[in-house]
Amino acid sequence: MPQTPHTDQQHRAILLSIAQRAMQERGLLPDFSAAVLAELDKIEAPASMRGESAGDPSGIRDLTGVPWASIDNDDSRDLDQLTAAEALPGGRVKIRVAVADVDALVKDSSAIDGHARFNTTSVYTAAKIFPMLPEKLSNGLTSLNLDEERLAVVVDMAIGADGSLQDSDIYRARVRNQAKLAYNSVGAWLEGHGAVPGGITAVNGLAENLRVQDRVAQSLKDLRQAQGALSLETLEAKAVFDGDQIRDLEVERKNRAKELIEDFMIAANGVTARYLATKNFPSIRRVVRTPKRWDRIVELAREHGYRLPDDPDPGALDQFLVKEKNADPLRFPDLSLAVIKLLGAGEYLAERPGDTAPGHFGLAVKDYAHSTAPNRRYTDLITQRLLKAAMAGEAAPYDFAKLDVLAKHFTTEEDAANKVERQVGKSAAALLLESRIGEQFDALVTGASDKGTWARLLTFPVEGRVVRGFEGIDVGDRIRVQLLAVDVERGFIDFGKIGSSRDR
């Protein structure tokens, strides 16, 4: 039975109801408990800045004079990291990444910590953000907000002209964010097709500092790609509201500012993992194993006239991806999405001192521990506690057995959070598409298994299930589909295959 169109109802309210129900159905907590709120009421200020004096055993440095800046989404308020550059002799550059010291206020086994450990991550939906930590903390007292002094854990890296890491250190410091910047405006400026953002011009020397950061980030990326990191680029859709009604789905693409932060976080996460290893501490690693569907990736490359080796080879795969990006940049995100689906999901693994984790296939890095977003991810908060104990010469606050349990929990709950975000995103798309039943579109097959077959429209960033004519198609195939039905409440979008894509 077809649904009644939601033309006269507030889309935001519809999506909020769907999001709250999806959180509960996936076993996540949409609201903070009374115990959390009572504990929160007792936290009235940022963490104490004690220990900054010279020679203090706590080792907290005063770096408030460094030209720190945050670069994040336009609407982000939970600021986890700041970056800054400093020229060194011999063409080297010191890159500092300051990460919010969330542990300074959120103590292990507290009620607030318990909620964060249960959900493990903030959940970002079109209707509402369900923060891992109360917004009084994540957007306020533990956020690296503009012109506010905060405690941070700083990852200090000396980078050579070739992008190689030549030295590193980790320590605690006081920092002050001097410019709150946004990806899109900074990216446009760095790429030469946008004016310099006002937040940059307001800080003496920041423009040149960011130019240096951009140059170093590009060298880091180039070196990783030479070592086999994959050049992937996907499309991310964000619901755009006009009041409380969805007006459009806006595609968010990579730019130089996003790459800058991504490259620095990858480097900092590697330093973090190795630091814990040198201190003989267990840790939680983020890994992407060797792809199980490499045979399909080989077949996909063959369809594009490229031959990959029979055994998984990230370097050869990246050469294929770079070739295709240069040949067809408009369709490259579709190929990237197919490859990502075939690579398989990442997971968290606990690692004992001296063991060797599988590494991250897509990033071509062996040592990788999430550490740079403790306001948003609980695994990063765990890593931060391990780091602070290691810096202080204390025993590890978690043993391997505890981390092993937590790592499995993180992987499971991250999957649940991703499913909530996808479901609400599909509900938002269904609201936009419910007046277009019967129309035809070109699409890319993004999933094919015993559980079903999925495809994403090429002209509209929407994914749905192929419920008719899916026999014989696989990930990466381009097909022509007809929109058969939508179910806003369940986030279902159903397609029927009617032929091969006209763009094939």
Q: What is the CA radius of gyration of the chain?
A: 23
Check if the beta carbon of residue 482 is closer than 8 Å to that of residue 439: yes
Rounded to the nearest 5 percent, the helix, strand and coil shares of the chain are 35, 25, 40
Give the separation between CA 200 and CA 212, rounded to whole angstroms: 14
Give the separation between CA 394 and CA 403, rounded to whole angstroms: 17
Q: What is the largest CA-CA distance in the chain?
A: 74
Give the separation between CA 431 and CA 437, rounded to whole angstroms: 11
199, containing H or E segment: helix 198-201
Give the separation between CA 409 and CA 432, rounded to whole angstroms: 35
Its pTM stands at 0.88
Domain parsing of the chain, residue ranges: 11-289+346-427, 436-504
Q: Which residue has the tokens 């889309």?
A: 11
Find the helix packing angle between 314-327 and 332-343, rounded to 10°: 160
Check if the beta carbon of residue 372 is closer than 8 Å to that of residue 99: yes
Check if the beta carbon of residue 349 is closer than 8 Å to that of residue 357: yes
Q: What is the pLDDT along the chain (504 residues), one digit of tens a residue?
A: 445 555 546 999 999 999 999 999 999 999 999 999 999 999 999 997 654 444 444 589 999 999 999 999 988 999 999 999 999 999 999 999 999 999 999 999 999 999 999 999 999 999 999 999 999 999 999 999 999 999 999 999 999 999 999 999 999 999 999 999 999 999 999 999 999 999 999 999 999 999 999 999 999 999 888 877 777 777 778 888 988 889 888 888 889 999 999 999 999 999 999 999 999 999 999 988 778 789 999 999 998 999 999 998 888 888 898 898 888 886 788 788 888 888 888 899 999 988 877 777 777 677 889 999 999 999 999 999 999 999 999 999 999 999 999 999 999 999 999 999 999 999 999 999 998 999 999 998 988 888 899 998 988 888 899 999 999 998 888 899 999 999 999 999 999 999 776 544
Determine the topology of domain 436-504 in CATH: OB fold (Dihydrolipoamide Acetyltransferase, E2P) (2.40.50)
What is the residue type of 189? W
DSSP 8-state code for residue 365:
B
256, containing H or E segment: helix 256-278
Tell me the residue ranges of DSSP E strands in 61-148: 61-62, 70-72, 81-87, 93-100, 123-124, 129-130
DSSP 8-state code for residue 89:
G
